[in-house]
Amino acid sequence: MPLDFRTSVSRNDDLGHGNFLLELEVPDAVATMRPAQFFMIGIPGAETLLRRPYSVCGLPGTFEDGAPGTVQVLYKAVGRGTHLLASLGRGARVDVLGPLGNGFSEPDDAALRPLFVAGGIGSAPFPALAAHFARREDVRSPWMIYGARGARELPLLDWFERRLERVEVTTDDGSQGRHGRVTDPLAELLEQSDERFHIYACGPEPMLKAVAALALRHGTVCDLSLEAHMACGFGVCLGCVVPTHRDGGGTGYDRLCVDGPVMRADKLAW
């Protein structure tokens, strides 16, 4: 069950280039949420009336310097709401509703290697997922493909490089790593590698559509963590629907806040 609570900011670290890592004190029940579940966060008395959705980035134990009883949220200051959030200091109060939605699934087969595919700030749910898998002896060490428009758009890259067995970086402008998009090395892995993968992807919708198409073409399991504008976060406003295939045939619409934000690639009727 999601909780609606007011809590304090433990820290709000500026990671550079508009990226921030927000740490919040949370009740014990919230600390057991799954990677890729999310919160609706608002600032009491602020001019922005509606809360905004933010994926959980870190759970207790994800970050070595995380305070006990806290979770972390990675975000980029791009609009009025996120700039207000970026202005908050230690001790500031925020209103939080969560945990919401469904998180990433476990690998379907112990032989599958988890493969994270992230686009820019879409890296947000992967620290918690990496830490979760690190505690599982029956899950293989994840690999990661991390892409962005440029080198300034790769928050927490150092964290991933220190903890994951393999991280390949792509940038649209060639300023870091391989010049190109995440689908270039992904296609090569799926076509040439002897490995079998369970893909976990989060990023802009065009990237997710391209990743999903590659996964379906190669018969690879693929979890997509999608984003949408949300007013409520719990299924009432119907502002976050996506087209999906129905089990009996045909298509319909599912709510990302309730039925997602994680969905299998073969479920989506893109």
Residue 11's pLDDT is 97
What is the mean pLDDT of the segment spanning 174-181?
Answer: 97
Cβ-based neighbours of 8, under 8 Å, separated by 6 or more = 24, 25, 90, 91, 92, 93, 94
Residue 120's pLDDT is 96
What is the mean pLDDT of the segment spanning 151-168?
Answer: 97
What is the mean pLDDT of the segment spanning 65-94?
Answer: 95
Q: Which CATH class is domain 3-100?
A: mainly beta
Average pLDDT across the chain, whole number:
95
pLDDT tens digits, 32-64 = 899 999 999 999 988 777 899 999 999 999 999
- Per the CB < 8 A criterion, the answer to whether 48 and 42 are in contact is yes
Task: For residues 135 and 61, give the distance between their C-alpha atoms in angstroms, rounded to a whole number.
Answer: 10
Please report, rounded to a whole number, the percentage of residues in the chain having pLDDT higher than 90: 88
Residue ranges of the chain that CATH labels 2.40.30.10: 3-100
What is the mean pLDDT of the segment spanning 105-118?
Answer: 95
Q: What is the pTM of this model?
A: 0.96
**Topology annotation, domain 113-227:** Rossmann fold (3.40.50)
Residue 47's pLDDT is 76
Residue 194 has pLDDT above 80, yes or no: yes
Residue 130 has pLDDT above 90, yes or no: yes
pLDDT tens digits, 84-94 = 999 999 999 99
- Per the CB < 8 A criterion, the answer to whether 105 and 132 are in contact is no
Residue ranges of the chain that CATH labels 3.40.50.80: 113-227
